[in-house]
Structure 1
C-alpha cells in the first residue's frame, strides 16, 4: 500500500508539474519560508476564489495537520475541488485514496477512474498507475494493449521506470507485437538514466539478436 502522506509531500514541495503555478498562488512563498499560518490564510482565500492549486495546497495542510488541526474530511473536500478543476496531481491523489480506502470507501474502479483522468492530463505517475491497473486487471478488465499504451506514454516523457516496463512489454510481446529492437531501445534509455538492470537487459538482447543473425 502506498502512503498518500509521502506522495502529497512530494507533490506540494517539488514536482515540476506544479513548479509553474505555485509562485502565482499567494502563500506559496510563505509556505516555503515556514510561515505556515500565513500560508494557510492565503491558501484559504485563493482556494475560496477558485484557485485549483491553492485548493490542493490547502488540502495538503489539512491532511498533514500543518497550521491547522488534521482533518481528512476537509482535506478531501479541497482535494475534490482541485480535482474537479482538472489539476492532475489532485486527480491522481484521489485515485490513491480510493485504491487504499483512505478517507473514502475502497474502490479500485474509482481509483482507475481518477488515474485515467490524471493520465489523460499528462501526469507521468498516473500514466504508470493506470497502465498497471490494466496490466493486472485491477479496477478495470485486464488489457495488456492499454497497459502498454500508458507505459509508453510515460516512457516518452522520460520516466526510467516506465521505459523499463514498456521495454519488457516489447521483449515478451505483452500488448504489443514482440519487437526486440524496440525492447533494446527502451532498456537502453532507462539504462542511460542509471538503471543498471536495464543496461544489462539491453546488452543481453543485443547479443541475442546478433546470435540469431549468424
Structure 2
C-alpha cells in the first residue's frame, strides 16, 4: 500500500468513525414528514418528533429514519438509543439507503450496538448497491483492508471505481493507484492517468504529481 493510499484510508476511517453522530433528518413528500421537516427546520423538535412518529407508525421509511436521528441525538426528547436503533433498523430494512449507511457506521463503531464489522459490511453493501456514495467508499475500504470481509482487491477496486464515477476524488486516487500497480485490476496506465487526473481536479498536490508521472508513461 502506498503512503498516499494509506493516508487516504486513514482519513476515511476517521471520518466514518465520526459520521454516525452527524446524521441529519431529511425531507419527504408525506404530509406528516413535511410537517415534521418544517417544525424541525423551525427549531421545534417536539412538534417535529410528533409528526415523524405518526408517519413512522405508518411505515414511512424516511420518517423512521428521521425519528431515529432525533432519538439518537436527544432532539425533542431525552436521548433513547435503544428506540433510535430500532427505528433506524426498520428504515434500513425497508431499503432506505441513508439508514442502511448510518446503521453500518454504528456497527463499525460499536455505538449503541455490539460492534460487528461483518454487519457493517452487510449494511454498507445494501446502501452501496443503491448508489450511496459514502457506502460505496465504506464497502470498498472493508474489502481493501479485509475488515468484516475477506481482503479482496478486485471487489475493492470495483467499489472505489463506482464511487470515483460519482465524483469522489479520494476514491479516484485509490483506484488510480490500483490501476497503476495492477492490484485487483489489470495494470492499465491510461486508466491510472485518467483517475489521477480526476483526483487532481481540486488541485491536490499528490494527485497532480501522480497524474504528471502517469502521463509521461503513456504510449507515445
Structure with bigger RCO (C-alpha 8 Å, 6+ apart): 2
Q: Counterpart in 1 of 2:121?
A: 112
1:29 deviates by 1.7
Instruction: List, as ranges, runs of 4+ consecutive aligned residues in structure 1 with deviation greater than 6 Å.
Output: none
Q: Counterpart in 1 of 2:59?
A: 50
2:41 pairs, out of 32, 46, 52, with: 32
Q: TM-score, normalised by structure 1?
A: 0.88
Structure 1, unpaired ranges of 5+: 13-17
State the SS of the aligned residue for 2:218: helix
1:198 pairs, out of 182, 207, 219, with: 207
Q: Counterpart in 1 of 2:144?
A: 135
1:197 deviates by 2.2
CA–CA separation in structure 2 for the residues paired with 1:38 and 1:199: 50
Per-residue Cα deviation, 1:167-206 (whole angstroms, up to 9, x for no partner): 1111111100111110110111121234332122101221
Residues 126 and 174 of structure 1: is their aligned pair in 2 closer, same or farther, counting only changes over 3 Å?
Answer: same
Q: Counterpart in 1 of 2:173?
A: 164
Aligned residues: CA RMSD: 1.6
Q: Counterpart in 2 of 1:22?
A: 28
Q: Does the Cα contact within 8 Å between 1:5 and 1:64 map onto a contact in 2?
A: no
Q: TM-score, normalised by structure 2?
A: 0.86
Per-residue Cα deviation, 1:87-119 (whole angstroms, up to 9, x for no partner): 011111111111111111111111111111111
State the SS of the aligned residue for 1:69: coil
Q: Is the aligned partner of 1:7 residue 2:13?
A: no
Structure 2, unpaired ranges of 5+: 1-13
Q: Is the aligned partner of 1:69 residue 2:85?
A: no
Matched residue pairs, number?
A: 202
Q: Counterpart in 2 of 1:181?
A: 190
State the SS of the aligned residue for 1:138: coil
Q: Does the Cα contact within 8 Å between 2:20 and 2:102 map onto a contact in 1?
A: no
Q: Counterpart in 2 of 1:15?
A: none
Q: Does the Cα contact within 8 Å between 2:173 and 2:195 map onto a contact in 1?
A: yes
Q: Counterpart in 1 of 2:9?
A: none
Q: Counterpart in 1 of 2:135?
A: 126
CA–CA separation in structure 2 for the residues paired with 1:23 and 1:193: 35
